[in-house]
Amino acid sequence: MHRQAQSELRNRLEPMHPADIAYILEALPLDERLTVWNLVKAERDGEILLEVSDSVRETLIESMDRDELVDAVESLDADEIADLAPDLPTDVVEEVRSQLSLEEREQLRAAMSYPDDSVGARMDFDAVSVREDVTLETVLRYLRRFDRLPDHTDQVFVVGRDDILRGALPLDSLLTNEPEVMVMDVMRRDVLTLQVLDSQSEAAQAFERYDLISAPVTDPQGRLLGRLTVAEVVDVIREEGDADLLSQAGLREDEDLFSSVWRSAKNRWLWLAINLCTAFFASRVIGGFEGVIEKVVALAALMPIVAGIAGNSGNQTMTLFIRSLALGQVNAANARRLVVKELAIAGLNGVVWGGIAGLCAWWLYSESPQGVLLGLTMTLAMILNLLLGALIAMAVPLGLQRAGRDPALGSSVLLTFSTDSMGFFIFLGLASLLFR
């Protein structure tokens, strides 16, 4: 690129928010992405690396040498370094760690030790804390010594001896009460408190339910370790939604829009391989009934309908059931009731749509001698397959959850596998009995 264009571009990037630069980098093909990346001032590299998606971050890190990486990362907070660490070469992490203060080094160690889906992995260490036996005036004077408060500070935490959390003082009370009032007289003692090992997903539900901006995070002894903010919670919610969508399509990870064909293809192969296996299994089921298909070839044309509708109906049941499981609305007391209800819906759908499909089949093949029997087989097979689909749609997620796995993962393959194979088996099996 021409040098003048480069300096113009640099000037336009200069005032931009790191998140905006990250967005631009994600939307650019690899070569142009690296050109822009090299123009961004070195001291902002770290913040931008935090903002880009995992797949794009990899391409950026690959383009940097050791010293550049150390420069980029060392300016970050301990919790941010912990976020990047898994993607960095180990010698870079070591070098950065060696330059940290003792306290930060301990924070980094802690942040990296929490499981990925725990509150600890998302918390920051910027919690501002005060004592309860001082006046608001003292707190105000203390806060005025900060250049700025940590982002998303809507409350300061009140701690006792050994940093044991006693409550929180919302900025709101700090501002609306007279300066002479004591902290202990206006602090909130019932503040929602998270533990480092709590699940992020449940913490996000609490933030959503109680409209929180920040919540203190403590260790099991009740000592204040840090806080979780709504900014992280928004990311958790968005990522959960994305992961659901991606995993439903069998995509293992979010793809860089401009990664190589080879790399993108590999991201999708496991899913296609699994589906090819299940499809061949269903094909063998059909193969077992070649005799009856040879006799009544119309069966070949009608069988995908039986399999398809049960798959769709089962998918509806499964989507609602997985959602109810995730929201904790299904319990031992109402599970039986829900199962009965879904089976009733499946039965009703079977009678209605199986009936319509049977009539259509009869009408389509009304000139052949087997028309009536084809329609009857169709209706019966659809009722049975819809019931089966509903059962599978509830049993599989429930089983996965009991086994401690994510109920959404893999359920849909198993459902399609069952409604296809069993749909063919029921329909062609019934036909074998009826068309002798």
CB of 176 to a copy of itself, least distance (A): 5
Near a copy of itself by CB under 8 A: residue from 199, 319, 355, 376: 319
Q: Does 55 bind a copy of itself (CB under 8 A)?
A: no
CB of 280 to a copy of itself, least distance (A): 6
Nearer to a copy of itself, 135 or 324 (CB): 324
Cα 281 from chain centroid? 31
80-139: contacts with a copy of itself (CB under 8 A): none
Q: Does 12 bind a copy of itself (CB under 8 A)?
A: no
Tell me which DSSP letter residue 256 carries: P
Helix (H) or strand (E) holding 182: none
270-299: contacts with a copy of itself (CB under 8 A): 271-273, 275-276, 279-280, 282-284, 286-287, 290, 293-294, 297-298
- List the one residue out of 3, 71, 10, 62 whose CA is nearest residue 36: 10
Alpha-carbon distance values, 37 to 3, 8, 14, 19, 260 (Å)? 15, 14, 12, 13, 19
Nearer to a copy of itself, 303 or 400 (CB): 303
Tell me which DSSP letter residue 164 carries: B
The Cα 126–Cα 171 span in angstroms is 16
Q: Does 257 bind a copy of itself (CB under 8 A)?
A: yes
Q: Does 27 bind a copy of itself (CB under 8 A)?
A: yes
The stretch among 103-111, 117-125, 201-209, 216-224 that binds a copy of itself (CB under 8 A) is 201-209
On whether the CB atoms of residues 387 and 347 are closer than 8 A, the answer is yes
The stretch among 77-85, 88-96, 115-123, 175-183 that binds a copy of itself (CB under 8 A) is 175-183
239-257 burial by CB neighbour count: b if 16+ within 10 A, else e? eeeebeeebeebbeeebbe
Alpha-carbon distance values, 164 to 102, 109, 193, 194 (Å)? 21, 21, 12, 13
The stretch among 85-93, 106-114, 118-126, 303-311 that binds a copy of itself (CB under 8 A) is 303-311
408-427: contacts with a copy of itself (CB under 8 A): 420
Nearer to a copy of itself, 26 or 87 (CB): 26
The Cα 125–Cα 129 span in angstroms is 11
